[in-house]
Amino acid sequence: MTDRTVTSGPRPHHPAPDATPDLSSRDPNWWRQAVIYQVYPRSFADADGDGLGDLRGITRRLTHLAALGVDALWLSPFYPSELADGGYDVIDPREVDPRLGTLDDFDALVREAHRLGLKVIVDIVPNHTSHQHVWFQEALRSGPGSPARDRYVFRDGRGAHGELPPTDWQSVFGGSAWQRVPDGQWYLHLFAAEQPDLNWANPEVRADFRTTLRFWADRGVDGFRIDVAHALAKDLDEPLRDLGSPELSSETALAEFPPGTHPFYDRDEVHEIYRDWRKILDAYSPPRMAVAEAWVPGARRALYARPDELGQAFNFEYLQTPWDAQALRRVITESLETANAVGASATWVLSNHDVVRHTSRLMLPPGTDENAWLLSGGHAPAVDPDAGLRRARAATLLMLALPGSSYVYQGEELGLPEVADLPTEVLQDPIWEQTGRVRKGRDGCRVPLPWTTTGPSYGFGPSGAWLPQPPSFAGYSVEAQDGVEGSTLELYRTALRLRRKLLQDETLCWAEETPPGVLQFDRGDGWRCVANLSGEPVSLPAGEVLLTSAPLEDGRLGPDTTAWLGR
Ligand code: GLC
């Protein structure tokens, strides 16, 4: 007999339906257990042949997403940008970058997505603008003490001549978080110098983002992903506080501070902003969903996902967990409990545009310095691509069986590995230069998608691609996998089709008596998931085998394999 523990139950607000969730267009809860596909626009599909992906390219390829069976797509920024940080340096948040298309192209994309039954989520970047934003240009012209400077964080420097930055705060991308301007003042940029931080104590800043949310919601978008949601509120009272050591500028140091007291991350006041936004989002029918990108631990992260705030927050703890049964079980249980405690649904992410693709990452021995691995061109340690793919497929099938929403990143349905050996001369991520060429950055997961087995950019567009694709991409292309039994693309398609049928309420029951290294849980109505993270084949429990991430070995579940079972 297996002993079962229910680790998630009904929530106080936005109650999930008892039976299969309704993913139809009017259901206000459609997002609670949706599968959302992240499109990184520059790297998805290039219609106009300039080597950079664009909106018309995305629209043409929407049938791929419909056939894949996802519920929604999330578009990373497509706004005018000088691409100092891959589009997260926004010049105008209510326009389309002319290289990527026009607002008409955007409307056509939304229309076509909705026709195909796909929802559309856009990225909002409220922590900073591009330095080319009209507000920042005005701030530079207007001088110290001006209202235009108050929309950003300008301060005088320290030292006899103001030649030292106002504090020791460090940028996420490396180096000081302060940049000096010609009249001698300094401005704050938690990311690249081309991304000045906004001052959220300024009412004009608040008003402008309300306008931006309404602008896109009025155009029919179904939801918003909120970039760096945990950094908007800052302690800017004079005198500004030094942190004392560079490490304390990182989110990973949040535990060193009493909750809510770090000078710029996860401050309690940030939640007022999202309560205000929720009122705007709820004025639409159905209400627009939102998901926080907040690199904040457990219970604090869940606060962003409260029903009167954003509703969901990315769960990066799951992404950061090594491929280890005990560790995963702990993180899954805690994630469900923390989401449940605030009435949110859980989220799961294995890959995105900021991290090493999980096909490669899950094979790195725990504790591996990923940057050193990238600098070695992916050779130290070497990752066997077949073994990596096997593990990634098992991890995906496990993720897709969990209660809540799964966010999948473009190309993972093809099993793409990280392109770890990009030559340094092609790197575009500001991290490379800003760290004095010490950290290689995130380009290896942003290499344009292969659609066909041949062609100048494997079907990405009619000409080349802005980052070079390795020849191995031909074999990973959609064309190479389409209709091929056992391919990763067909695995995702089958899994997503089955998931829709099998989806239950947001509860999960663990089986306690499993062999070491094996995770097993039921989702109700006979849907059972078993993942073998041990090095040995294991016997399967009772149930009809519906899907496996790798063929069974003499009827047994091999290492690095996940199975879904039914009644
Ligand atoms: C988020 C984005 C990342 C970007 C940063 C600054 O973390 O995901 O790509 O560099 O914000 O906007």
For residue 539, how far is its CA from the centre of ligand 1 (angstroms)? 43
For residue 88, how far is its CA from the centre of ligand 1 (angstroms)? 6
- Of all atoms in ligand 1, which is nearest to the CA of residue 442? 9
* Nearest by Cα to 63 from 100, 120, 115: 115
Q: What pLDDT is stored for residue 497 in this prediction?
A: 98
Q: What pLDDT is stored for residue 524 in this prediction?
A: 86
CA angle at 399 for the pair 396 and 405, rounded to the nearest 5°: 120
**Residue 5 pLDDT exceeds 60:** no
Name the residue at shortest CA distance from atom 4 of ligand 1.
Answer: 88
**Annotated catalytic residue, options 197, 227, 522, 560:** 227
List pLDDT tens digits, range 395-433.
999 999 999 999 999 999 999 999 999 999 999 999 999
- Of all atoms in ligand 1, which is nearest to the CA of residue 128? 12
For residue 262, how far is its CA from the centre of ligand 1 (angstroms)? 20
List pLDDT tens digits, range 474-523.
999 999 999 999 999 999 999 999 999 999 899 999 999 999 999 999 99
4: three-class secondary structure by DSSP: strand
Q: Tell me, what DSSP letter sits at residue 414?
A: G
Q: Tell me, what DSSP letter sits at residue 284?
A: S
| Average pLDDT value over all residues in the chain | 95
* 379 DSSP β-pair partners: 382
List pLDDT tens digits, range 164-215.
999 999 999 999 999 999 999 999 999 999 999 999 999 999 999 999 999 9
- Using CB distances shorter than 6 Å, the residues near ligand 1 are 85, 88, 125, 191, 227-228, 293, 353-354
Name the residue at shortest CA distance from atom 2 of ligand 1.
Answer: 227
Active site residue 293: yes
Token pair of 4, please?
């079962």
Share of the chain above pLDDT 90, in %: 94
* Nearest by Cα to 342 from 287, 292, 313, 305: 305
For residue 479, how far is its CA from the centre of ligand 1 (angstroms)? 31
Name the residue at shortest CA distance from atom 12 of ligand 1.
Answer: 88
Share of the chain above pLDDT 70, in %: 96
- Of all atoms in ligand 1, which is nearest to the CA of residue 190? 6
**Residue 9 pLDDT exceeds 60:** no
Phi, psi (degrees; rounded to nearest 5) at 508: -145, 135
Name the residue at shortest CA distance from atom 7 of ligand 1.
Answer: 228
**Annotated catalytic residue, options 105, 293, 309, 505:** 293
**Residue 315 pLDDT exceeds 70:** yes
- Of all atoms in ligand 1, which is nearest to the CA of residue 354? 9
**Residue 1 pLDDT exceeds 80:** no
**Residue 31 pLDDT exceeds 70:** yes
Q: How confident is the model at residue 298 (pLDDT cuts 50, 70, 90)?
A: confident
Active site residue 85: no
For residue 115, how far is its CA from the centre of ligand 1 (angstroms)? 30
Are 165 and 176 a contacting pair, CB within 8 Å? Answer: yes
64: three-class secondary structure by DSSP: helix
Q: How confident is the model at residue 24 (pLDDT cuts 50, 70, 90)?
A: low
**Residue 16 pLDDT exceeds 80:** no
Best residue among 122, 190, 228 to mutate for probing ligand 1's pocket (most ligand atoms within 8 Å of CB) is 228
For residue 12, how far is its CA from the centre of ligand 1 (angstroms)? 32
List pLDDT tens digits, range 378-393.
999 999 999 999 999 9
Best residue among 38, 39, 83, 85 to mutate for probing ligand 1's pocket (most ligand atoms within 8 Å of CB) is 85
For residue 86, how far is its CA from the centre of ligand 1 (angstroms)? 9
**Residue 155 pLDDT exceeds 70:** yes
List pLDDT tens digits, range 86-130.
999 999 999 999 999 999 999 999 999 999 999 999 999 999 999
Are 49 and 342 a contacting pair, CB within 8 Å? Answer: no
* Nearest by Cα to 182 from 199, 157, 207: 157
Distance CA 119, CA 30 (A): 10
Higher pLDDT among residues 567 and 144, named by residue: 144
Are 557 and 532 a contacting pair, CB within 8 Å? Answer: yes
Q: What pLDDT is stored for residue 11 in this prediction?
A: 36
Q: Is residue 239 reached through a cis peptide bond, with omega within 30 degrees of 0 on the bond before it?
A: yes
414 residue type, one letter: L
- Of all atoms in ligand 1, which is nearest to the CA of residue 125? 12
Task: Kindly state the average pLDDT of the residues 222-241.
Answer: 97
Q: Is residue 381 reached through a cis peptide bond, with omega within 30 degrees of 0 on the bond before it?
A: yes
Q: What pLDDT is stored for residue 486 in this prediction?
A: 97
- Of all atoms in ligand 1, which is nearest to the CA of residue 191? 6
